[in-house]
Amino acid sequence: MSLFGIVNFGLFCIAVMLLNATPGPDTAYIVGRSIAQGRAAGLVSALGISAGCLVHSVASALGLTAILASSASAFMVIKLAGGAYLIYLGLRMLCSRSARPTDSAAVTDLRPLPTIFWQAVATNLLNPKVILFFLSFFPQFVRADSPRKTAAFLLLGLVFVLLSTVWNSGTAFLAGTLARRAGRSPHARLWLERLVGTAFIALGAKLITKN
């Protein structure tokens, strides 16, 4: 594929799928919402993550990502905000469920789908690793002498979003199905949610403390 100077397009698609298979904050949020609220919430989370990736794609094409990555202070603000947000989500999940472990409270901590969507967008946008990913990954698949680099970045970003949406939707469906089965056992559901909440806190702490 040589459109807009894009090279090694097949390799790009394979790399995107492999990267999506690597657990991270986005996957944790999708799994967490799927477990807490079912497959519909998980699918909405996946769409929110995709919307965040779309914003990153446009920012990368317009050069905003490079500006953020070159500014130590701006990057640190995003890093701290992203880590704190993940820790907040993890604590909220742990506290809401540990205080209400019975089956009669299974409907607590339900969030409207628009709220879930925008929280997913925030989870993605506040992850500084995503900024660096778009900055370092996409240029490898565009010729240096391409006169239409902006169009190439936008096209690669669109492909990235489409492939990620497919993968994340599958993750949401699987997690939601497992949660539904676990829902027959209140204790199993409780421990699933505690596990995901702990993962949120660990990811947030790692994001804040890692140089």
Instruction: Give me the tens of pLDDT residue by residue for the chain, a chain 211 residues long.
Output: 567 788 888 888 888 887 777 777 888 888 888 888 888 999 999 999 999 999 988 888 887 667 766 777 776 776 777 678 778 777 877 776 444 444 433 444 577 889 999 999 998 888 777 777 777 777 778 887 777 878 888 898 899 999 999 999 998 998 888 777 665 555 656 666 677 678 768 877 876 776 5
In total, how many domains does the chain have?
1
Residue 122 lies in a domain: yes
128 vs 130: CA distance, rounded Å? 5
Asked if residue 28 is part of any domain, the answer here is no
- Identify whether 178 is part of a domain: yes
Angle between helices 113-125 and 39-62 (to 10 degrees): 40
Burial label, 32 (beta-carbon count in 10 A; 0-12, 13-18, 19+): buried
The residue whose two tokens read 């680099």 is 149
Domain span holding position 126: 43-103+112-141+148-209
23 within a domain of the structure (yes/no): no
In a domain, residue 13? The reply is no
Nearest to 203 by CA among 135, 123, 131: 123
Q: Is residue 17 part of a domain?
A: no
CB 170 within 8 A of CB 45: no
Residue 32 lies in a domain: no
Residue 118 lies in a domain: yes
The CA distance from 191 to 178, in Å, is 13
Note whether 13 and 159 are within 8 A (CB): yes
